[in-house]
Amino acid sequence: MEDIRMDSHKLLYHPQRVADWLSGKQIYPIEMEVGLSGACNHRCIFCAVDYMEYKPKLLPKDIFLANLELMGKKGLKSIIYAGEGEPLTHPDAPEIIQRTKKYGIDAAMSTNGVLFTKEKAVDCMSALSWIRFSIAGATDETYEKIHQCRKGDLKRALQNMADVAMVKRQQKLSTTLGAQLLLLPENKSEIVQLARMVREMGFDYFTVKPFSQHPSSKAKITVDYSEAEEIGREVKEYETENFKIYFRSQSIDNLNMEKPYSDCEGLNFMTYMDAAGNLFPCIVFMGQDDFIYGNIHEQTFPEIWESERAKKIRAAFDCKFIHAHCRKNCRLDEINKYLHVLKNPGAHVNFI
């Protein structure tokens, strides 16, 4: 499997958009994360958006699809269906995913996998560039303790993951299949077992990620990562030519580092939409009315993105604000570091 730059970013593959931003032009985001549904069938103990309270809100299909076409025309390149709930609790998820691809936008999904039946996989997998399954344990006991779910959900998730891998093989699809475990004291002894299970299914990668505290989350967790290096070494042994292990050591190191940039310029390249149709700069501020750019029930996506309100909100993420309110190791960390260096070149840049 090709390297997917999990601990880095891919903005360097969009030089024209970056050049336009650097010269002060109005640009459109490259990526958007969309919450199809506010509801979730699990209550994971590490859930960053537990404060959104899993409201059974569904993104309105018709309004969203009308905007989707506009987004594609304006240069949006990808959508990750994830957000504040489980995307597959939206009954039209497969259709929305297919339409995304049809409008020229790459689609991906993050899911706990319990509702991703073989039928749903057949319906939408060909339109998905990648699928990431969130799975926090290899045994029923650990999985149910962390996911706070129905008995037997681990078995259901694993069966669906195996079926998805089979659909990929049968249909000769290029969809990248990954599983992600959030490293917690409860699951550290099951990581190797899970890596082996996922590899045997024919997945492309397994990733282990640290917990990072969301400022508004009710879940307050402190994790001691002193054993992380050893765990990383152990699990890395399960990597093969066709199966990558991404142990996010850099993300663990980042937890203890101050952000070395003074603005969140990455907000020009990425945005979030919740299941109510609100457009936000960042998942950390989801649910806070002051940070809503606008809503697709009232305005089109281009009207919202280009509005004075959206520009003002993006500009408010200055040094003081970021250091007081932002999350360590956030989604745009690496992108912000890159953009900061571009905007603030050091000496002798012509001696390449």
Contact status: 109 vs ligand SF4 (CB under 6 A): no
Long-range contact pairs involving 142-145 (C-beta distance under 8 Å, separation at least 24): 142/186, 142/187, 142/190, 145/45, 145/186
Instruction: Name the segment binding ligand SF4 (CB under 6 A); options: 169-177, 246-254, 261-269, 339-347.
Output: 261-269
| Structure token pair of residue 67 | 């905007």
Stretch that binds ligand SF4, among 9-17, 103-111, 178-186, 277-285 (CB under 6 A): 277-285
Q: Which residues in the 60-99 window bind ligand SF4 by CB under 6 A?
A: none
Considering the complex, what minimum distance in angstroms separates the CB of residue 311 from ligand SF4?
Answer: 15
Q: Closest by alpha carbon to 343, among 270, 271, 266, 281?
A: 266
Q: Does 327 bind ligand SF4 (CB under 6 A)?
A: yes
Select the residue interacting with ligand SF4 from 132, 168, 209, 331 (CB under 6 A): 331
DSSP letter string, 48-69: TTGGGTT---B--HHHHHHHHH
d(CA 118, CA 280): 33
273 binds ligand SF4 (CB under 6 A): no
Distances (CA, A) of 294 to 112, 271, 279, 300: 29, 12, 6, 9
Of 84, 23, 95, 88, the C-alpha closest to 52 is 84
The span of 4-12, 81-89, 228-236, 259-267 binding ligand SF4 (CB under 6 A) equals: 259-267
Among 208, 322, 338, 339, binds ligand SF4 (CB under 6 A): 322
Q: Which stretch binds ligand SF4 (CB under 6 A): 9-17, 19-27, 95-103, 327-335?
A: 327-335
d(C-alpha 78, C-alpha 108), whole Å = 8
**Angle at the Cα of 114 (from 111 to 120), degrees rounded to 5?**
80
Does residue 34 touch ligand SF4 according to CB under 6 A?
Answer: no
Q: How many residues make contact with ligand SF4 (CB under 6 A)?
A: 14
The interface region with ligand SF4, picked from 64-72, 103-111, 295-303, 322-330 by CB under 6 A, is 322-330
| Binding span for ligand SF4 by CB under 6 A among 227-235, 264-272, 299-307, 341-349 | 264-272
Q: Are 344 and 20 in contact (CB under 8 A)?
A: no
Tokens of 140: 């029923």
Q: Which is nearer to ligand SF4, 243 or 317 (CB)?
A: 317
For the chain, state the CA radius of gyration.
20
Output 266 or 287, the one with its CB closest to ligand SF4: 266
Question: Among residues 131 and 322, whose Cβ is nearest to ligand SF4?
Answer: 322
**Residue of 282, 286, 292, 339 that binds ligand SF4 (CB under 6 A):** 282
For residue 146, which of 180, 178, 117, 109 has the smallest C-alpha distance?
180
End-to-end CA distance of the chain: 31
- Our CB check for ligand SF4 shows the closer of 152 and 260 to be 260
Q: Is 330 near ligand SF4 (CB under 6 A)?
A: yes
Q: Which residues contact ligand SF4 by CB under 6 A?
A: 264, 266-267, 281-282, 284, 317, 322, 326-327, 330-332, 336
